[in-house]
Structure 1
């Protein structure tokens, strides 16, 4: 059992809040188009922060907990790339100006962290009280894996999001971004801008992704602190990663397939852990080092295979994947519409 003092929790949360606040202030004070060099610098910075934390954590609490942290971080980082697909779709659908995308992503990361913190606390409590929750989490991940694999060639339609549809019906809206404001006064009346709708779309998508990612990271560690920091450091680098790789995402044609394999594998790991604890200690478990090796191998194979495939056929385009079927677009409407992950 990992013993984390209140001071360590406070310092960790303070560091994360500080980094988020810096991002938010930078986005609000200096709206601008984030270039490749800036995105690269920030991506490297956040990766170094995550790795540095992991090294300190392993030295302070032992190699086993350190391995759990790095496994959880890699799981969350790989799932966050799927988030990026949806972020790109949202930005494109609502034609968000490039100078405002920085702020939108920062708000989206804050919302994701808040929702995931709630799910982490709830998940940790349930796992400590009811061992069969490992079985339920495992079955949920296997179901998610199967559905994601079945609909791996589909994209979400954020306009079909229930939150977005409701907001469009009940709120007075303007088509103008009005300098990046969420609410503005236009012709004497207060109206919501498209940026407000974009944040609602990202927030609701973040909620759906949290339902997938939290059980997944609990599959590599049952320690709430490790789950929290793995999520936090994976999400902190998401803004910079978006600007760095958004032009390359279309080439990761096998990403949804790889994520479905990872989720299915972790689901089996959770079920085996439940069986080992509740049925018989003779039932083998999958260790964290093996999990880490499998996850890294799948991600490397998926990335290399995707690049080879798209190099042979440049017309191929990657998709975010969906957990339910939707009507396919007609042949003369390649844009089509999809169904958001749920």
Structure 2
């Protein structure tokens, strides 16, 4: 019921969002984007409060025996007071909330990298700004379904093969190093030669003509994919690639698949409004790529050194402090040391 209620809430919010904003096909203003971003952040924080007070309901934990089972199963850093169920549940719920918030911050930060790519994709495919919102809403709906599959498959793999966490950790460290090395490279997208476009063109009818805000264009009784639908497919494919980084990163914070799912989905839902908020200023945060690179390296190292860190008393609170510090430092550095523009004479 807890999980089902969350899914119903998400579907309802997306339906309202799509119905209210997509019919007019107007560009989202900076003010509207700021309001939407604030609303999604408040929803995310509100859900944190739900976990703080009723998190034990997620796994139907109402006695010490069940609490021990769930704590052992998901490797929660919780000290159980066997003589005091109420105090133990409070400690458990508090830890659950902290894991959720840390995972949310990690995913929200890594989502910024998606924005760099999305701006590039919309520009490369020649998509008018007034259709951005429609593409992103449908893209997020697809991302939720794909990430749900990824998360619970990942949780099953971790439960069966504990050593896979070390594989995830090594992969994240490698990804972080490569992101740092390639931080100054200009990314380019060739719509004609993109793998997804080539695949779609091979098996489906595709047109280069826009048909307003429609995903498909019908001509002489034949249905064609428009550039709007093609860019949606590319965005879904790109999110799938990004999920390979972000989902293992959250598993470094918590092994509870539901907490991974909740934190991941709230961050993804906030991505659309954050896109419109940052689309015109994202280039100013030029040290953010460096920050994200160090963030991935830290998370990967944490997964590799988990047992040693636990013995040293390293907790989720310490992880959250380090993660926030890395992100804050990269943003502040970007503002203090702005990127020099190259002007041609």
User: TM-score, normalized by length of structure 2?
Assistant: 0.83
Aligned to 1:173: 206
The answer (yes or no) to whether the contact 2:144–2:265 under 8 Å persists in 1 is: yes
Counterpart of 1:186 (choices 219, 222, 230) is: 219
Residue of structure 2 equivalent to 1:21 = 15
What residue is the counterpart of 1:305 in the other structure?
333
Within the candidate set 108, 112, 119, 2:139 is matched to: 108
SS in 1 for 2:218: strand
> Aligned partners of 2:188 and 2:318: how far apart in 1?
37
The residue number in structure 1 matching 2:282 is 249
Contact map agreement 2:200 2:206 (CA 8 A) in 1: no
Q: Deviations over 1:160-210 (max 9, x none)?
A: 531123224444332322121111123553322111111111011011001
User: CA separation in 1, counterparts of 2:3 and 2:266?
Assistant: 14
Match of 2:341 in 1: 315
Q: Aligned to 2:217, what secondary structure does the other structure show?
A: strand
Q: Between Structure 1 and Structure 2, how many residues are aligned?
A: 304
Q: Residues of 1 paired with 2:161 and 2:43: CA distance?
A: 35
Are the aligned partners of 1:138 and 1:271 in contact in 2 as well (CA < 8 Å)? yes
Deviation of residue 153 (structure 1)? 1.4
Find out whether 1:80 has 2:99 as its counterpart.
no
Matched, 1:120 2:151: yes
Structure with max Cα Rg = 2
CA contact (8 A) 1:272 1:284 kept: no
Compared CA separation, residues 144 and 285, structure 1 to 2 (3 A): farther
Question: Once superposed, which parts of structure 1, at least 4 consecutive aligned residues long, lie more than 6 Å away?
Answer: none
1:268 matched to 2:285: no
SS of match in other structure, 2:305:
helix
Once residues 307 and 290 of structure 1 are traced to their aligned partners in structure 2, the CA distance between those partners, rounded to angstroms, is 26
Q: TM-score, normalised by structure 1?
A: 0.84
Aligned counterparts of 1:285 and 1:117: Cα–Cα separation in 2: 32
Segments of structure 2 that go 5 or more residues without pairing to the other structure are 56-92
- Find the residue that maps to 1:190 and give its secondary structure: strand
Return the alpha-carbon distance in structure 2 between the equivalents of residues 234 and 130 of structure 1.
Answer: 28
Partner of residue 320 from structure 2, selected from 292, 297, 307: 292
**CA RMSD after TM alignment:** 1.9
The DSSP-based 3-state class of the residue aligned with 2:32 is: helix
